[in-house]
């Protein structure tokens, strides 16, 4: 009888330990910080002095509209928003601001030299993690 109770106790312990391990691993995976390039996927097309840019934004992440900056040298280039899911947002750091979810498409005219163009942007995860400002050189 003691052997049976001991075996049942050990089986119960192993089952509970395995479930706790699984719960612990799930917590680690849930708190995984992905690289900014994985959650804010930037693509662009340059054709005849026109530049079109698109961000595909992973679910549960967002970009700050006010953080998007496109520069050539020390000149700030104006862009037009072609399409985007722009939402009013109350931010603990920036107050009332606009964020973009899902995707954003913008266009710029009169872009003379694409190789000298640099793009800046910043975003966050809904879990509370914010990325530093990202910068990309277009080539």
At residue 27, the pLDDT reads: 38
**Residues in contact with 139: Cβ distance below 8 Å, sequence separation at least 6, in sequence order:** 114, 115
At residue 103, the pLDDT reads: 97
At residue 30, the pLDDT reads: 61
Per the structure block, which two tokens stand in for 31? 């708190």
- pLDDT, tens digit, for every residue of 4-58? 544 545 555 554 445 554 444 443 456 678 999 999 999 999 888 899 999 999 9
- pLDDT, tens digit, for every residue of 45-100? 988 889 999 999 999 999 999 999 999 988 999 999 999 999 999 887 778 999 99
Question: DSSP class of residue 109?
Answer: S
At residue 19, the pLDDT reads: 53
């Amino acid at each position: 009888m003691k052997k049976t109770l001991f075996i049942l106790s050990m089986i119960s312990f192993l089952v509970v330990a395995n479930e706790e391990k699984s719960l612990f691993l799930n917590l680690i995976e849930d708190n995984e910080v992905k690289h900014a390039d994985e959650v804010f996927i930037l693509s662009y097309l340059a054709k005849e002095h026109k530049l079109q840019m698109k961000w595909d934004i992973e679910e549960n992440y967002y970009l700050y509209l006010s953080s998007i900056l496109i520069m050539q040298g020390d000149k700030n280039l104006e862009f037009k928003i072609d399409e985007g899911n722009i939402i009013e947002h109350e931010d603990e750091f920036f107050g009332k601001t606009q964020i973009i979810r899902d995707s954003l498409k913008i266009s710029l005219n009169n872009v003379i030299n694409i190789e000298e163009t640099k793009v800046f942007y910043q975003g966050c995860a809904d879990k509370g993690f914010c990325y530093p400002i990202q910068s990309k050189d277009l080539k």
